[in-house]
Structure 1
Amino acid sequence: MNSKKVLVIVPAYNEEESLERTVDELVSVVPDIDYLVVNDGSKDATEQICLDRGYNHVTLPVNSGLTVGFQTGMKYALRNGYDYALQFDADGQHCPEYMSKMLDLAIAEDADIVIGSRFVNKCKEVSARMLGSRIITVAIKLTTGKRVADPTSGMRMFNRKMIERFANDDSLNPEPESISYLIKKGAKVREVQVEMRERQAGESYLNIPKSIAYMARACISILFVQWFR
């Protein structure tokens, strides 16, 4: 990795089946990286795994959701002087070997946000799952003039300026609507082609009804709500 100081933020809620594999792979592939597991009030053995394995972690007393967990990581990054922070899923879908490419692009283009994108060089599959992603891409394009190929990717790198914003602004969340909002405010966003795996273990909280609600909320926020912020 580059000499820049980078923190990988790993939000985790009930990830006992995948956390150990995820963190051990992260440390093996990028041994000089710093990471922070944010245990979001898990009810399973997530906390015990962190203790047994000696993982760098903080534990929230109750489940507070992804936004609070991510902001906790950003506050840690800000207070400890990190140049970049990377949002990284605990479920094993993200591949740590792409971190170097993301950091290199962030530095080379002075990007505020770099997204690990599945669709820079590849087309989205035709499926109900990808329909929402296509709609969000169009919504961002309509409101910002910029195209984000993979707006729902959870693998995102943020520079110091963005770390400060996320750490101090409770209205921001690690979701497509915040990416859209920040673009409108002048943030430079770039994408790097990555491969992602299926969830390695456990179950996603996003079932079909929740996925539909997620996409609808994101689009409404991008197209309407953010004009009043």
Structure 2
Amino acid sequence: ILQVIKSLKELPLPLDYVVVNDCSKDDTKEILQKNGTNYLDLPVNLGIGGAVQAGYKFAKENGYDIAIQIDGDGQHNPEYIHNLVQPILDGKADACIGSRFIEKEGFQSSWLRRFGINLLSGCISLFYGQKIHDVTSGFRAVNKGLIEIYAQDYAQDYPEPEALVTAILHHQKIIEVPVEMRERLGGTSSIHSFKSIYYMIKVSLAIICRKLTLRKEP
């Protein structure tokens, strides 16, 4: 996390950062305190969806125009942030996803995960009419409108694909830009081995069920 923060501070961009500590069981909180970092310390464990939504609530309450998600494990290269925010600044997108599958360079994940990502991408394309290649990418930027939406409505369990569905239902324009991702520098994934299959099935069903119970979004 400290290396990610250091990389963010070195960027020639006017940005702030906040780390969301979701009741981590390691020494993350102590490291953040010792190094004087900006962080939110959640009182109870909310899981990935709740932790990310806490970041969006923070962005909304502090009036930010763009919010950028970036993993703390080093997989996402901060140097691509400019590429993520530029389409939003130009008014060409409401959300911009950093995709590893456009140019297919850098770390591509395991074959099982790629299969699951393709399945989820196909579900969103089939049921919502929009093709998004890297639906599970957590490296993304959104504008002020989506900050407000996500602060109120964000999937709580394995949320990245469902968050895209929320954006589509709110008629937000989503684009992808190519990025190169790296293997994680620290930490372990919450999705591994057979849990990848559970993830794939659960999120696919959530995407389909939301379509079947579709209501008009404002």
When normalised by structure 1's length, the TM-score is 0.85
Aligned positions of 1:93-104 closer than 5 A: 93-104=75-86
1:201 equivalent to 2:186? Answer yes
Residue 172 of structure 2: aligned partner: 187
Larger strand percent = 1
* Number of residue pairs the alignment of both structures matches: 211
In 1, the alpha carbon distance for the partners of 2:8 and 2:154 equals: 29
In 2, the alpha carbon distance for the partners of 1:26 and 1:204 equals: 22
Give 5+ residue unaligned stretches, structure 1: 1-18
Give the 3 Å change call, closer, same or farther, for CA 170–92 of structure 1 in structure 2.
closer
In 2, the alpha carbon distance for the partners of 1:141 and 1:193 equals: 19
Assess if the C-alpha contact under 8 Å between 1:181 and 1:222 holds in 2. no
In 2, the alpha carbon distance for the partners of 1:129 and 1:73 equals: 26
Give the counterpart of 2:125 among 137, 141, 151: 141
In 2, the alpha carbon distance for the partners of 1:53 and 1:64 equals: 25
Does 119-128 or 37-46 show the bigger shift? 119-128
Give the 3 Å change call, closer, same or farther, for CA 172–164 of structure 1 in structure 2.
farther
Assess if the C-alpha contact under 8 Å between 2:50 and 2:156 holds in 1. no
Give the counterpart of 2:137 among 148, 153, 176: 153
1:80 equivalent to 2:65? Answer no
Classify the secondary structure of the residue corresponding to 2:17.
strand
- RMSD over equivalenced CA pairs, Å: 2.0
In 2, the alpha carbon distance for the partners of 1:62 and 1:128 equals: 32
Give the counterpart of 2:14 among 32, 36, 55: 32
Assess if the C-alpha contact under 8 Å between 2:74 and 2:184 holds in 1. yes
Assess if the C-alpha contact under 8 Å between 1:136 and 1:219 holds in 2. yes
Residue 211 of structure 1: aligned partner: 196
Q: Deviations over 1:148-187 (max 9, x none)?
A: 0110101011110000011122557742022123213311
Residue 7 of structure 1: aligned partner: none
Q: Deviations over 1:90-138 (max 9, x none)?
A: 1110000111111111222431110001122338789222100111111
Shift of 1:30: 4.7
Residue 64 of structure 1: aligned partner: 46
Give 5+ residue unaligned stretches, structure 2: none
